[in-house]
Amino acid sequence: MLPAVQAGGAKKDCSMTKILGISGSLRRASYNGALLRAATRLMPEDATLEVASIRGIPLYDGDVEAQGIPPSVSQLKEAIIAADGVLLVTPEYNNGIPGVFKNTIDWLSRPAADSRRVFGARRFAIIGASPGGFGTIMSQAAWLPVLRTLGAQVWFGGRLMVSRAANVFDESGALKDPTVEELLRQFLAGYVSFLRATPAPP
Ligand SMILES: Cc1cc2nc3c(=O)[nH]c(=O)nc-3n(C[C@H](O)[C@H](O)[C@H](O)COP(=O)(O)O)c2cc1C
């Protein structure tokens, strides 16, 4: 029997752990999108991984915010709040976080008064893929001060940096490397165990 998950005082389905996965790439043939899709079929039993997209999130503009939070941002916020955990699947640009991905998180943190509801104590995990040899090590590290600023938790029990991504996925974007597949499976199992063992945000 899994521990009951509480959110906002309401009891959720305690038998299913729900993760929301977000890829930080808009590219159709994105390796990070492919990694996230692979993760959806490698989840442990009694856990689901829903894929969310950053497509449609506008560029952050304080003048736009003053008119109201865009619906695409509000929808993503509510999807995060409804999930037990959030998996960031991050590309790396110039040894840092791609602007489009950071832009999304910046929007999600607005208005500041609502940021705690979205991020406070929420349990994040980070993976990523790149065609180079270091597999997003720098961008994964660059997320840490951002998530700390937002008051989120980050699961550090596993690491997955998929390097040489062109050899790891086939032309259709399917994961073809059995070693990476096993590492991804183990990462997801560890993250789900962590989510089940630790309290959800109040
Ligand atoms: C502006 C830019 C900067 C990049 N900088 C890095 C980098 O610092 N490290 C790295 O491993 N790859 C870098 N790359 C290559 C990306 O990892 C590669 O384009 C990758 O395919 C992006 O992720 P995606 O396949 O999910 O779209 C860069 C790509 C772009 C467009």
More confident residue, 22 or 12: 22
Q: Taking residues 103-114, what's their average pLDDT?
A: 98
Q: Taking residues 22-26, what's their average pLDDT?
A: 98
Write out the residue range of the structural domain in which residue 144 sits: 17-120+131-197
Lowest mean per-residue pLDDT among 7-11, 152-156, 161-165: 7-11
| Residue 139 CB–ligand 1 contact under 6 Å | no
Q: What percent of the chain has pLDDT over 70?
A: 93
Q: Is there a domain that residue 6 lies in?
A: no
Number of DSSP helices (H) and strands (E) in the chain, helices first = 7, 8
Residue 81: predicted pLDDT? 98
Q: Is there a domain that residue 89 lies in?
A: yes
Lowest mean per-residue pLDDT among 1-5, 29-33, 56-60, 188-192: 1-5
Q: Taking residues 56-60, what's their average pLDDT?
A: 98
Residue 201: predicted pLDDT? 84
Q: Is there a domain that residue 72 lies in?
A: yes
| Residue 25 CB–ligand 1 contact under 6 Å | yes
Contacts 24+ apart (CB under 8 A), 138-142: 138/92, 138/95, 138/96, 139/90, 139/91, 139/92, 139/93, 139/95, 139/96, 139/97, 139/98, 140/90, 140/92, 142/95, 142/96, 142/97
Residue 58: predicted pLDDT? 98
Q: Is the pLDDT of residue 63 over 80?
A: yes
What is the domain count for the chain? 1
Residue nearest to atom 29 of ligand 1 (CA): 93
Question: Within a 13 Å sphere around the CA of 69, how many CA atoms are in the beta-carbon half?
Answer: 19
**Is the link from the previous residue into 111 a cis peptide, with omega within 30 of 0?**
yes
Residue nearest to atom 3 of ligand 1 (CA): 93
What radius of gyration do the chain's Cα atoms show? 16
Residue 11: predicted pLDDT? 42
Q: Is there a domain that residue 202 lies in?
A: no
Return the ligand 1 atom nearest residue 23 CA.
26
Return the ligand 1 atom nearest residue 95 CA.
8
Q: Is the pLDDT of residue 108 over 80?
A: yes
Give the CATH number for residue 42: 3.40.50.360
Residue 14: predicted pLDDT? 61
DSSP assigned state of 136: T
Q: Is there a domain that residue 53 lies in?
A: yes
Cα(96) to ligand 1 centroid in Å equals 10
More confident residue, 154 or 201: 154
Pocket probe mutation, ligand 1, options 28, 35, 93, max atoms within 8 Å of Cβ: 93
Q: Taking residues 100-120, what's their average pLDDT?
A: 98
Q: Is there a domain that residue 41 lies in?
A: yes
Q: Is there a domain that residue 170 lies in?
A: yes
Return the ligand 1 atom nearest residue 24 CA.
26
Q: Is there a domain that residue 108 lies in?
A: yes
| Residue 101 CB–ligand 1 contact under 6 Å | no
